[in-house]
Structure 1
Amino acid sequence: MTKWLVKSEPDECGIDDFAHSPNTVIPWDGVRNYQARNFLAQMAPNDEVFLYHSSCRHIGIAGIIRVVKAAYPDPAQFNPDSPYHDPKSSPDKPRWQAVDFAFVRKLSRLIPLDELKSLDGLEQLPLVRKGSRLSVMPVSEAEWQIILQQE
């Protein structure tokens, strides 16, 4: 089982969206970065994922979700009315992936980015590296445990 971190704006899809409907599966679509797409393609059912709130007042890791369905072609890429439509993508040769997530739990507190940047052992985590803007990234088991200890 691999560990991951995904970023989202909480007004788009945050941990409260998962917590309010804990038995609901939420598709994770709209990822339009090739490296992030490749990470989505590596996700497997039951992988655990930190949900990181970005582009908001309180930035940081807010909770844990899990993969319930491995990567499949992102349906938004084929929908001309979607902001994630990609006219260069086709059903026989899709460019983008989506995965389905479900709620595990909210953290007891939001762990802010500034705190994450100060922790020993997280220096290689793309989230804290200067210039990294990935919305999907792997998290090592050691990094996962360091982060959970901050809760």
Structure 2
Amino acid sequence: MTRLRNLLRLLVVVLCLAVAMPMASPAFAVQPDEVLDDPALENRARELSKGLRCVVCQNESIDESNADLARELRLVVRERLVVGDSDEQVLDYLVARYGEFVLLKPRTDGWNMILWLSGPALFLLALGVGVVYVRGRASAAAPTEVGLSDDEAARLKEILKNS
């Protein structure tokens, strides 16, 4: 009886894994009619598509998205490559039409350099402020180190004698 239960549990686990495995793999949305005949151009198109954001889905590349606009962008990428554009020219063309938002990894030049450097700069600034604060607290005399005035010392002796 326990063998049968264990076998049924194993069967359920295997079935669950068989159903879940296709969902875990990335779904590529490139349609067969989009694929270029030249394998080198197709590989370039796929690499470019992986770095371009679907402006409808926003968290997927156009290579993974099933949105109509993503399909149109994939076709534009392939058209530009067939015409003879370099990878950089294709990216510049799409950035000119859709803005830098279309890039999954923003460029690190121009105004974007401020964004790339502001995080480490603010971290270093906070670290400097923390060091100055800690050093200031360490060099300040603690109230117990200041000592008692003569009147306070006499009053303390008197209190200790009476108790």
| TM class by smaller structure | under 0.3
Q: TM-score, normalised by structure 2?
A: 0.21
Bigger relative contact order, structure 1 or 2 (CA pairs below 8 A, ≥6 apart): 1
Question: Which is helix-richer, 1 or 2?
Answer: 2
Q: Which has the larger radius of gyration?
A: 2
State the TM-score, normalizing by the size of structure 1: 0.21
